Amino acid sequence: MVVDVREVARAYLRRVNWGSGVLHAGFEASDIPEELVRKIAGRFHEQPHRPNDPEARDQYLQMADEARAQLSCMTDMGIKVRLYPHPGQPYGTSRELCDALDAGKDLYVYPTEHGHGPAGYEDPDNPLLLRSGVEIDGARALHNDVLRATHDYFGHYLARAPFNLPGELSVAYAHLGMFSPEVHGAVLNEFVGQISWFYYGPHILRADGSVPRCGDDDWIPPSERPFADQKVNLMPSEWVAEFLEWGRAQSTAHDVVERCEELV
């Protein structure tokens, strides 16, 4: 079933009564906020894992609840979500994901039980590893499965950006707009913290702080890099504001910001 992702996003924003919200979609960042990404990567590396901190846990659980509501809107409008039953990722590129959904195919999600963080990672305290109370493809889904499904749909598919750093930041900005401001610290930590560390963590940076480029002797291909540790924590509100300011500038430059009150 072919469904316009922008219509689904608008329907969700109307459902949660965000008539003054903004739908962000359809741009690939032409540059990255490198200073901010470096700060986020450094903080993510140094920060502790705080799954039982009341504020962090509450934000993560609210983020999970909002993702569950997003998934409900998706399925109500005809989107079929399935857990990918084979080894590896269901889509090799963002284009493959978008082409599949453009053709009305089901959305396949990489199951949390197949991989979540570094190899062998288990954490009974991580709120994203709790059962979500919904089923995906007949299986009891974890909160993280639901978050992955919504991030692929309202992030990767809505933004139509590639699987690289500028693309992932564009995707994070698109999906951030689907969450209430009260959980933006958790969303930024989860979506931008991990990807910033992946590209600007201490395992990548040289001693002088520079980043190896493809073709350099010390370049590490993304496929050979370690995954970030799973850390439940919150990014500072001022960094959320800085990230949103960057995203607005990018989306304005690409002329793709739509105000929901003009669309209802």
Interval 151-166 mean pLDDT? 92
How far apart, in whole angstroms, are the C-alpha atoms of residue 87 and residue 227? 17
Quote the pLDDT of residue 63.
Answer: 98
Interval 127-137 mean pLDDT? 93
Quote the pLDDT of residue 103.
Answer: 97
Q: Are 249 and 63 in contact (CB under 8 A)?
A: no
85-99, 108-122, 183-197, 208-222: which range is least confident on average? 108-122
Interval 120-149 mean pLDDT? 88
Residue scoring higher pLDDT (15 or 254): 15
Average pLDDT along the chain? 89
Residue 129 has pLDDT above 50, yes or no: yes
How far apart, in whole angstroms, are the C-alpha atoms of residue 53 and residue 73? 30
Buried b (16+ CB within 10 A) or exposed e, 29-39: beebbeebbbb
How far apart, in whole angstroms, are the C-alpha atoms of residue 244 and residue 188? 10
Residue scoring higher pLDDT (115 or 128): 128
Place of tokens 């980043």: 211
Extract the tokens encoding 188.
């930024």
Residue 24 has pLDDT above 90, yes or no: no
Quote the pLDDT of residue 62.
Answer: 98
* 83-110 per-position pLDDT tens digit: 999 888 999 999 999 999 999 999 999 9
Quote the pLDDT of residue 65.
Answer: 98
Question: For residue 189, what pLDDT band results from cuts at 50, 70 and 90?
Answer: very high
Quote the pLDDT of residue 29.
Answer: 65
Interval 231-257 mean pLDDT? 86
Quote the pLDDT of residue 264.
Answer: 41
Q: Are 196 and 44 in contact (CB under 8 A)?
A: yes
Q: Dihedral, CA atoms, 255, 256, 262, 263, nearest 10 degrees?
A: 150
111-125, 161-175, 184-198, 243-257: which range is least confident on average? 111-125
CA angle centred on 210, ends 205 and 216, rounded to 5°: 85
Residue scoring higher pLDDT (17 or 72): 72
Quote the pLDDT of residue 253.
Answer: 61
Interval 125-154 mean pLDDT? 94
Output the CA–CA distances (angstroms, integers) from residue 159 to 42, 122, 154, 183, 216, in the order listed: 26, 31, 8, 21, 31
Q: Dihedral, CA atoms, 81, 87, 90, 92, nearest 10 degrees?
A: 170
Q: Which amino acid is at 247?
A: G
Quote the pLDDT of residue 88.
Answer: 86
CA angle centred on 203, ends 152 and 110, rounded to 5°: 20
Quote the pLDDT of residue 218.
Answer: 95
Quote the pLDDT of residue 26.
Answer: 56
Quote the pLDDT of residue 251.
Answer: 77
Question: For residue 155, what pLDDT band results from cuts at 50, 70 and 90?
Answer: very high
Q: What is the pTM of this model?
A: 0.90
